[in-house]
Amino acid sequence: MSNKVVIITGAAQGIGLAAARRFAEGGYSVAMTDLKVDELNAAVAQLQSEGFEVSGHELDVANHAQGAQVVAEIIAHYGRLDALFNNAGITGHRKNVLNFDPEEIKQAEEVNLWGSLYMIQHVARYWVENKIEGAVVNVSSFVASFAEWSPFAYGISKTSVDGLTRTAAFQLGKYGIRVNSVAPGYTKTEMAIKYDYSDPKLRKAAEDKSLLNRWIEPREIANAAFFLAGDQASAITGVKLPVDAGYTTTKEDNKVSLYGENE
């Protein structure tokens, strides 16, 4: 096959599904993976019915052995692999430092941090063995830029993803492998709709905190991931690209000047 091939994790819905469409529109064959099999199959069938070259593969990214097997299957199926979009993520519990449960606290790290690391290992081993200069795009978050109450383990995991992006870029750079991340702000997907978007007060508060005063569409994150994975970003590695409507550019309080706005 001559198409470039990308693996997308968490592709059944939200940002992952928007990315599957974006990469397919951009000429990639897309291996869509997720642990929600029914939703994944429906998403794959929809994109196939529109004529896109996509396939579906059940995968829990926190399962190292399953990841190795699925990556091998995808490479055998397509005969090549060019990029990984490490998108699968969960927010996990909403407790605090004083009352967290030791087992529960591990969930966000297992998926967001270790799952991303495991997938990088699987694809990078193949790329290094076959002298392929592949590209990885991880998913950080705007919450990795500051401390938060809830869900705080999610914030810790995304801060760790920033470290993972730098470390993997550092270790794999000599093989020509690039590793970057996108850091979404409040994006209209089930993850945020469940909590923030469906509550008018929270929805408005999220809008007010961004410089553009709005929520972000999954497609806008997908566009950035597509850019970082492709040749247009050939000299970019080890960076985090915020796609947050300016949320992390300033503190909310700073939007009101202490000195008055200069006309």
Ligand X SMILES: NC(=O)c1ccc[n+]([C@@H]2O[C@H](COP(=O)([O-])OP(=O)(O)OC[C@H]3O[C@@H](n4cnc5c(N)ncnc54)[C@H](O)[C@@H]3O)[C@@H](O)[C@H]2O)c1
Show which residues are catalytic: 154
The answer to the question of residue 10 lying near ligand X (CB under 6 A) is yes
The answer to the question of residue 89 lying near ligand X (CB under 6 A) is yes
Q: Shortest CA distance to 142 belongs to which of 248, 234, 60, 42?
A: 248
The answer to the question of residue 109 lying near ligand X (CB under 6 A) is no
Q: What single-letter DSSP state applies at residue 193?
A: I
- For residues 187 and 260, which CB has a smaller minimum distance to ligand X in the complex? 187
Between 116-129 and 64-78, two packed helices, what is the crossing angle to 10 degrees? 40
The answer to the question of residue 115 lying near ligand X (CB under 6 A) is yes
x-or-dash string of contact with ligand X, 38-77, rule CB under 6 A:
---------------------xxxx---------------
Nearest-approach distance from CB 26 to ligand X, in angstroms: 19
The answer to the question of residue 35 lying near ligand X (CB under 6 A) is yes
Q: Shortest CA distance to 250 belongs to which of 220, 209, 216, 221?
A: 209
Given 29, 87, 159, 248, the residue binding ligand X (CB under 6 A): 87
Q: Is 171:120 a contact under the CB 8 Å cutoff?
A: no
The answer to the question of residue 145 lying near ligand X (CB under 6 A) is no
Nearest-approach distance from CB 67 to ligand X, in angstroms: 9
Order the strands of the 5-9 sheet from edge to edge. 54-58, 29-34, 5-9, 83-86, 135-139, 178-184, 240-243
Q: What is the rounded CA–CA span in Å between residue 22 and residue 18?
A: 6
- Report residue 33: phi and psi, to 5°: -125, 150
Q: Total number of residues binding ligand X (CB under 6 A)? A: 29
x-or-dash string of contact with ligand X, 168-197, rule CB under 6 A:
----------------x-xx-xxxx-----
The answer to the question of residue 111 lying near ligand X (CB under 6 A) is yes
Q: What is the rounded CA–CA span in Å between residue 188 and residue 204?
A: 13
The answer to the question of residue 8 lying near ligand X (CB under 6 A) is no
